[in-house]
Amino acid sequence: MIVVMKRGFQRAELEDVIALIEEKGARPMISHAEHSTLVGVIDKTPGEKHGVSPDALSSLPGVEKIVPIEEPYKLVGRPLHPEDTVICIEPENGVRFQAGGGYFGVIAGPCAVESEEQIVETARAVRLAGGTALRGGAFKPRTSPYSFQGLKEEGLKMLAAARRETGLAVVTEVLCVNQVDLTAEYADVLQIGSRNMQNYPLLEAVGRQSNPVLLKRGLCSTLSEFLLAAEYIAYQGNPNIILCERGVRTFEDDTRFTLSLSSIPILQKKSHLPVIVDPSHSTGCDYLIAPMSRAAMAAGADGLMIEAHPHPSQSRVDAEQAIDCGAFAALMDDLRRLAPAAGKRWSE
Ligand code: PEP
Ligand code: MN
């Protein structure tokens, strides 16, 4: 439930509300909206019902009303946090990445880090074209155990070199709990891939560290399951989550997955978290990246994550869906033209 405080409430009244919530075994979550202050009553111990009574809360001075939260995801839902969360990353002397609240963040780079030369060359092109963050997998989740699995820590070092060179924030995937601390030393954003969206210990581990998390939708997950996965991260204390729609599995076989564009406004209605779109994995096809990127922006997305490679045909992973740096720059020009009509702006 949510406690809505009266306009002009006294500080001591809010403290009494918090004290009652804590005394009855729940966790208070304060949220400041434009015209009101809200206090969420969140279960402290999973599986154990707290003893906070709505009547006891509503009789306290300074309390306007009590509103139940219908949805199972409390922290990432809109009711407790009506305003958009803006994820903002500013590498030292670098390029500011922002997504949410009208800002459009563009993350681009190869599927996998292959060499320092490849990742630095891509990062330079991404920066020049106006991209605001660099992607590249060092730990790769591959369907076949015989496929290239990524350069691991060496790849992380190459990503850090590309950040030093260009000032772009680095987004990279973690596959398991024991990669989290190591990866957080090198990267700005930890990505949880589609296959791991329901890996709950991993969600909890990224929730316990402070880097923002890019959470990709599971390839067979509903939006409700997606938001509950984000709730796992937020419940551990990390509210900085970017949701990424990356397509779901359907009967269609002309595309790798089916990009659900309607999920953008649905997620934005249900949650305050920024929603970005990955047109690369959702289509699996280079010529669909530009039209789906424009469609995502027009549908209100808060950003994109695109696979770009200096020489797509030589890409060791996902070659058929990577665009070259020239095509990426042309797409960025298009998006910049479209942005005002879509009500979006870039960080800088
Ligand atoms: C990726 O972005 O590198 C990736 C593996 O994507 P997904 O988890 O969406 O398949
Ligand atoms: Mn890929």
What pLDDT digit, counting tens, does each position of 267-283 carry? 999 999 999 999 999 99
Q: Is 79 a member of any domain?
A: no
Starting from the CA of residue 278, give the closest ligand. 1
Q: Based on the domain organization, do 320 and 217 belong to the same domain?
A: yes
Q: What is the pLDDT of residue 348?
A: 63
Ligand 1 lined by 344 (C-beta under 6 Å): no
Q: Based on the domain organization, do 183 and 332 belong to the same domain?
A: yes
- For residue 305, the ligand 1 atom closest to its alpha carbon is 2
The residue among 67, 99, 122 that closes a domain is: 67
How close is the Cα of 88 to the center of ligand 1, in Å? 22
How many Cα atoms occupy the beta-carbon half-sphere of 297 within 13 Å?
Answer: 27
How close is the Cα of 26 to the center of ligand 2, in Å? 42
Range of the domain at 26: 2-67
Average of per-residue pLDDT across 134-152: 97
CATH of the domain at 20: 3.30.70.1140
Q: What is the pLDDT of residue 17?
A: 98
Q: Based on the domain organization, do 228 and 340 belong to the same domain?
A: yes
Q: Based on the domain organization, do 91 and 60 belong to the same domain?
A: no
Closest Cα to atom 4 of ligand 1: 193
Mean pLDDT across the chain: 97
Q: Is 76 a member of any domain?
A: no
How close is the Cα of 312 to the center of ligand 1, in Å? 17
Q: Based on the domain organization, do 133 and 30 belong to the same domain?
A: no
Q: What is the pLDDT of residue 71?
A: 96
Residue 228 has pLDDT above 70, yes or no: yes
Q: Based on the domain organization, do 214 and 271 belong to the same domain?
A: yes
The count of domains in the chain is 2
Q: Based on the domain organization, do 169 and 253 belong to the same domain?
A: yes
- For residue 193, the ligand 1 atom closest to its alpha carbon is 8
348 or 55: which leads in pLDDT: 55
Ligand 1 lined by 111 (C-beta under 6 Å): yes
Q: 10 Å Cβ neighbour count for 69?
A: 17
For the chain, how big is the Rg over CA atoms in Å? 21
Q: Based on the domain organization, do 172 and 50 belong to the same domain?
A: no
Q: Is 72 a member of any domain?
A: no
- For residue 244, the ligand 1 atom closest to its alpha carbon is 9
Q: Which residue among 216, 257, 316, 321 is best mutated to probe the pocket of ligand 1, counting the most ligand atoms within 8 A of its Cβ?
A: 216
Q: What is the pLDDT of residue 347?
A: 77
Q: Is 204 a member of any domain?
A: yes
Helices within the chain (DSSP H only):
11-23, 54-58, 116-129, 153-166, 180-186, 200-207, 223-235, 263-270, 279-283, 289-298, 325-342
Residue 93 has pLDDT above 90, yes or no: no
pTM over 0.85: yes
The residue among 19, 34, 67 that closes a domain is: 67
C-alpha dist (Å) from residue 180 to 155, 176, 210: 15, 7, 11
Residue 101 has pLDDT above 90, yes or no: yes
Q: Based on the domain organization, do 63 and 108 belong to the same domain?
A: no
Q: Is 303 a member of any domain?
A: yes
Q: Residue 34: pLDDT band by 50, 70, 90 thresholds?
A: confident
Q: Based on the domain organization, do 241 and 306 belong to the same domain?
A: yes
Q: Based on the domain organization, do 49 and 91 belong to the same domain?
A: no
Q: Is 78 a member of any domain?
A: no
Q: Which residue among 114, 191, 226 is best mutated to probe the pocket of ligand 1, counting the most ligand atoms within 8 A of its Cβ?
A: 191
Inter-helix orientation angle 153-166/116-129, to 10°: 40
Ligand 1 lined by 137 (C-beta under 6 Å): yes
Q: Is 80 a member of any domain?
A: no
Q: Residue 260: pLDDT band by 50, 70, 90 thresholds?
A: very high
Q: Is 298 a member of any domain?
A: yes
Ligand 1 lined by 141 (C-beta under 6 Å): yes
**Per-residue model confidence as pLDDT tens digits over 159-172:** 999 999 999 999 99
**What does the alpha-carbon distance between residue 272 and residue 178 come to, in Å, rounded to a whole number?**
30
What strands, in cross-sheet order, belong to the sheet with 26-32?
26-32, 37-43, 2-5, 63-67
**Per-residue model confidence as pLDDT tens digits over 291-306:** 999 999 999 999 999 9
Q: Based on the domain organization, do 112 and 207 belong to the same domain?
A: yes
Q: pLDDT above 90 covers what percent of the chain? A: 97
- For residue 173, the ligand 1 atom closest to its alpha carbon is 3
**What does the alpha-carbon distance between residue 202 and residue 258 come to, in Å, rounded to a whole number?**
26
How close is the Cα of 74 to the center of ligand 1, in Å? 27
CATH of the domain at 208: 3.20.20.70
Starting from the CA of residue 175, give the closest ligand. 1
